Structure 1
Amino acid sequence: MSSSVRSTRSARAVLGASVLALTLLGTSACGPDNSSADTAAAAGAPALGLPANLDDLKKWKFEDWEKWAKDYALPAATKGFWTLEKLLQAKPNEPIEPPAPQPAGTQAPAQPSAPGPSTPAAGSKPPAGQPTQPGHPTTPAAATTPAAPKPSNTQQPASQAPAPPKQPAQQPSQAPAQPTQAPAPAQPSQPAQPPAQPGQPPAQPADNGNDPLPKTVNAQPLQHPYTKLAVHGKLFADEPGAGAAGGGLGRSQCSATVVADPAHPGKSNLVWTAGHCVHQGKGGSFYSNISFIPAFNSNAAMSGGKQADESQYAPFGIWGATQAVTSPQWKAEGGKTGDAATHYDFAVIRVKPADGAKSLEETVGGAVPVWFNAPRDQLSVTEYGYPAAPPFDGMELNRCESGKPGRLSYEPTRPPMLVIGCTMTGGSSGGGWLAVKDGKPALVSNVSVGKHTGDPMYQAGPYLDDVAAGAYDFLSKKG
């Protein structure tokens, strides 16, 4: 990381109970209905009532979301359900694998191969129709996965593959604090695209929405205790059909962040994570027993293989989810392969406080506002999460100081995802990406996909546009 990037983050402040006033959606709505014109967009769309033009989702009002999101109410996990034994059984959420190479002559983008005479030079942009090579942060990419083009600013020679990152044996002497000063806006790296005409699909970027891959950034563990970082935590859930012989429950773990609730200032019970952490995607359903543990293992009671009781590894309690909403795109199209649905791989859940108890925000001491439609060139991202796949063990809160994000696209007509360098692995899925807005930290994305072998290692998250704002506004008002 350059000294200029480091200097923009030299000053940090503790997260407060800041609340972002959510800008309401446009007044014209194209809500879901049962007409064939509104249900022919994508596979699975007829059952979900997606509009034929997915851009119309940005215009949905509250009543449109309510008409569509019929399964947002969830039964909360019973008190005491998540025992230590069950927590330790939870595996990093199943991976979203990179797209398979397409046969010659098809319109689907093909996977890049290792650099050679017929492939782009290191650091060059992918040719039109060819995305970069993301995997998913839950497991390392398969050995047969083609190598991604190497950017010019990577730290190792092209002939060398870096050794897997090792979890530091000791914690830093000081806990890095939250960002307090926004970086100066940079000039756009790509020319602006002309606006689409009414009724026409968005203009396709000349480079298919892809920038050169970012350089690898090593994840760093935070100093215990996590008192000042209690908005970050671990999310546990049971996935239907993922157990023995496909008929049981597969316990999974992700990361998540407490976010502000515009309808309940200062008393939020909302948590932001990835869509694939709570919902199976196309043809599937929401997971069960979804529960959030803020500041998991804050006092290092579970570090180094130690055993502990609930009061030690869950200092602020275990919060069961009672409501959840993800994007229509993820529910209609999402699956195990990175594709257009990954551009909308986010979710918002509401957790239930104990009877008569304080809200989640009051309990942990803060909540992060969400920054929708954030100017890309004004962002400098810090990612937080609990990586659990090797070489990590899921017991430590880590962060990546990744700087300005690039763009990564599976579908050029949808907003390019944000992509950053980071070595976090499985379990970091859903972890919050924070940037600075008006001098305070705000959430701008979450971990969705990633690549954790070779060089560079990186992760990507959805760009939070008006579709994300609509889902967030809906769940806020339903509480």
Structure 2
Amino acid sequence: MRSIRTPATPQRRRRTVLAATGLVAALALTATACNGSDEERAADQGGATASQGADGAGDSTGDNAGEGEIGIPSDIAGRLEEHGIDVDDWKNGGWKNWDKDKWLSEAKDFVNPVIEGLWKPERMQSAKEADKTVTTKDTSAGQGVSDPEPAPVQATAETTPYHDNAAPVGKIFFDSPEGSMVCSGTVIKDVNHPGKSNLVWTAGHCVHAGQNGGWYRNIVFVPAFNDLGKSDTELNDADPVEIAPYGNWWADWASTSNGWIEGGSETGGAGAAYDYAVLHVQPEQGSTSLEETVGAALDVDFSAPAAAEAGSMGAWGYPAAPPYNGLKMFKCLDQPGRLSLSPALPTMYRIGCTMTGGSSGGGWFRVVDGETRLVSNTSIGPADNTWLAGPQLGQDARALYRNMSETYGGR
């Protein structure tokens, strides 16, 4: 099958990102340096409650891997067999079996073999938003420490081409029991592999169903998706490089928090405050790292600043629920407030924003010492799409990140 990956040209590897005017300009993301931040290098392991996906996906070069087939390495095949899953059945479409007894749910159970050519442009266009909608009732318990609901902020379209203006931001595709779904994600730096990161930050609910489910499948990240912001009609005749200028990047390792795995629900639930995840990805074709290919990546800010002291934040993503269709990148900028779902849970950030489902997992950015860093990700929002909320990223999130970097980053 035809791959949609086209190598980035040298010119595209020197892009500045999220460049704009006014307040957005303050959030401009420049092409990355070749080392992590001093804060990250000094960070210790912390008291992690994070959980990692172990023994991730293989590639399409395994035994008997022909065109359009899955080549499953022996270690992954063995683990599938341990769960009572027939490897041949899996290769022939058994991954579509979402029976509760065969839905891999534990942190150590993550598998995501590459299926080259699976995510064709038409399949991408048919994927639906992964939505986490809350109601007034869901947020009433913590109103004593929540700030007033913010005024809606109308999302604005990012300037095209995205590889010039928002190269680290992209779209995540995956398969779930409900069908093909979409989220958003961000290329982040890898402190232990400077300049050669293969890490992507997103939401936990974009990779794992939470307490009543398991790991989603066929998880792929597409940076700068639909680079020129074309309409669905225009995409019918678009060159593949316009849809995926840096190609498809399959998650071969995944980590999300124990808080999400144990407490996440269809409306976020108790897991919303821990709704973050890190992917380690590999190209569907080629061997160059994601950061080298895209030309940019962001540091993550794990200081969990109080909302009143955080300054302005910007959220970027690909909203897919009406009135949006998931084909274009949007952004919102606002001063964050606090959202408390329960006195027993960490406070979340909340900003006014009209982005809908599909923007889930998209990065929130703020300026620290003149440098733009990822500080949160989109997790939940109300049914009327007037605001978004994201988790604070503290010691547990840092431990999850460092474990991914140290254990899987060099693979």
Tell me the residue number matched to 2:67: none
Is the aligned partner of 1:211 residue 2:143?
no
Partners of 1:316 and 1:387 in 2: CA distance: 21
> Could you tell me which of 31, 36, 52 is aligned with 1:16?
31
> Could you tell me which of 371, 379, 382 is aligned with 2:311?
379
> Could you tell me which of 271, 278, 298 is aligned with 2:207?
278
Q: What is the deviation of 1:378?
A: 2.9
Cα gap change, 1:354/1:28 in structure 2, threshold over 3 Å: closer, same or farther?
closer
CA RMSD of aligned residues (A): 2.5
Cα gap change, 1:98/1:267 in structure 2, threshold over 3 Å: closer, same or farther?
same
CA contact (8 A) 1:263 1:476 kept: yes
> Could you tell me which of 116, 122, 132 is aligned with 1:85?
122
CA contact (8 A) 1:77 1:288 kept: no
CA contact (8 A) 2:208 2:215 kept: yes
Tell me the residue number matched to 2:181: 252
Q: Secondary structure at the match of 2:271?
A: helix
Cα gap change, 1:267/1:340 in structure 2, threshold over 3 Å: closer, same or farther?
same
Is the aligned partner of 1:226 residue 2:156?
no
Cα gap change, 1:414/1:316 in structure 2, threshold over 3 Å: closer, same or farther?
same
Structure 2 residue ranges without an equivalent (≥5): 1-20, 52-105
Partners of 1:273 and 1:220 in 2: CA distance: 21
Tell me the residue number matched to 1:62: none
Tell me the residue number matched to 1:60: none
Cα gap change, 1:330/1:221 in structure 2, threshold over 3 Å: closer, same or farther?
same
CA contact (8 A) 1:425 1:452 kept: no
Q: What is the deviation of 1:333?
A: 1.2
Structure 1 residue ranges without an equivalent (≥5): 1-5, 33-67, 102-108, 112-128, 132-206, 243-249
Q: What is the deviation of 1:76?
A: 3.3
Letter of the aligned partner of 1:15 in structure 2?
T
Cα gap change, 1:28/1:280 in structure 2, threshold over 3 Å: closer, same or farther?
closer
Q: Secondary structure at the match of 2:393?
A: coil
> Could you tell me which of 320, 324, 339 is aligned with 2:254?
324
Give the length in aligned residue pairs: 326
* Structure 1 range deviating more: 417-426 or 296-305: 296-305
Letter of the aligned partner of 2:146 in structure 1?
N
Tell me the residue number matched to 2:377: 446
Tell me the residue number matched to 1:394: 326
Q: What is the deviation of 1:374?
A: 3.3
* Structure 1 range deviating more: 346-355 or 227-236: 346-355
Q: Secondary structure at the match of 2:300?
A: coil
Cα gap change, 1:474/1:444 in structure 2, threshold over 3 Å: closer, same or farther?
same
Cα gap change, 1:371/1:14 in structure 2, threshold over 3 Å: closer, same or farther?
closer
CA contact (8 A) 1:20 1:260 kept: no
Tell me the residue number matched to 2:365: 434
Letter of the aligned partner of 2:43 in structure 1?
L
Q: Secondary structure at the match of 1:413?
A: coil
Is the aligned partner of 1:473 residue 2:402?
yes
CA contact (8 A) 1:407 1:419 kept: yes
Q: Secondary structure at the match of 1:363?
A: helix
Partners of 1:259 and 1:332 in 2: CA distance: 26
Letter of the aligned partner of 2:168 in structure 1?
V
Q: What is the deviation of 1:451?
A: 2.1
Tell me the residue number matched to 2:113: 76
Is the aligned partner of 1:310 residue 2:327?
no
Q: What is the deviation of 1:340?
A: 2.2
> Could you tell me which of 285, 290, 302 is aligned with 1:360?
290
Q: Deviations over 1:174-200 (max 9, x none)?
A: xxxxxxxxxxxxxxxxxxxxxxxxxxx
Partners of 1:14 and 1:303 in 2: CA distance: 28
CA contact (8 A) 2:230 2:327 kept: no
Partners of 1:405 and 1:391 in 2: CA distance: 24
Partners of 1:87 and 1:304 in 2: CA distance: 14
Partners of 2:46 and 2:330 in 1: CA distance: 41
Tell me the residue number matched to 1:370: 300
Q: Secondary structure at the match of 1:411?
A: coil
Q: Deviations over 1:328-364 (max 9, x none)?
A: 0110111113432110001100101356521000111
Partners of 1:28 and 1:303 in 2: CA distance: 46
Q: Secondary structure at the match of 2:389?
A: strand
Which one has a larger percent helix, Structure 1 or Structure 2? 2
Q: What is the deviation of 1:29?
A: 7.9
Partners of 1:297 and 1:332 in 2: CA distance: 35
CA contact (8 A) 1:84 1:309 kept: no
Tell me the residue number matched to 2:56: none
CA contact (8 A) 2:49 2:258 kept: no
Q: What is the deviation of 1:303?
A: 5.3
Partners of 1:30 and 1:86 in 2: CA distance: 36
Tell me the residue number matched to 2:349: 418
Q: Deviations over 1:51-97 (max 9, x none)?
A: xxxxxxxxxxxxxxxxx9423x5323311110122112210014344
Structure number with bigger Rg: 1
CA contact (8 A) 1:76 1:290 kept: no
Cα gap change, 1:426/1:436 in structure 2, threshold over 3 Å: closer, same or farther?
same
